[in-house]
């Protein structure tokens, strides 16, 4: 299977939308509202945010600079796989400067940033 065939099945391109900002600034709220709106019109989406990632994929990490970098690196890798599956991936994270690095590593994926 190719990314193009998956995107054709979904009827849209896979893309990562990065929502970044300060704690409590509404990133997850805005990303969640957008996910619901996209879902209503038939877009296949998934929201990755600090809550759902920290309780599973990154439960072994703390909040040191190195752990925060690893958290974002893992999110970037998961988002890349989801984009390859043809999904619109919404990510909501605090670490703006770290997400830029993750976005750069996802060069083969479409990505957009808000924050």
- What are the boundaries of each domain within the chain? 1-16+48-110
The helix/strand/coil state of 55 is coil
Whole-angstrom Cα distance, residue 36 to residue 46?
A: 10
Mean pLDDT of the chain, nearest integer: 85
95 is catalytic: yes
Question: What would the two tokens of residue 25 be?
Answer: 């600034």
pLDDT per residue as tens digits for the range 31-80: 999 999 999 999 999 999 988 998 999 999 998 889 988 999 999 999 99
Question: Choosing from 23, 95, 109, 114, which is the catalytic residue?
Answer: 95
Q: Tell me the whole-structure pTM to 2 decimals.
A: 0.79
pLDDT grade for 105, boundaries at 50, 70 and 90:
low
The domain over range 1-16+48-110 is classified in CATH as 3.30.830.10? no
In the predicted structure, residue 102 carries a pLDDT above the cut 80: no
C-alpha pair distances (Å), 74 with each of 6, 47, 111? 23, 14, 16
């Amino acid at each position: 299977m190719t990314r193009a065939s998956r995107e054709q099945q979904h009827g849209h391109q896979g893309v990562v939308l990065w929502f970044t900002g300060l704690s409590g600034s509404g990133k997850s709220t805005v990303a969640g509202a957008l996910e619901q709106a996209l879902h209503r019109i038939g877009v296949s989406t998934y929201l990755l945010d600090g809550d759902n990632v920290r309780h599973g994929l990154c439960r072994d990490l703390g909040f040191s600079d190195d752990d925060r970098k690893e958290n974002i690196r893992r999110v970037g890798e998961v988002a890349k796989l989801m984009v390859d599956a043809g999904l619109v991936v919404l990510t909501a994270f605090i670490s703006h400067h770290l997400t830029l690095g993750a976005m750069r590593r996802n060069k083969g994926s479409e990505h957009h940033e808000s924050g």
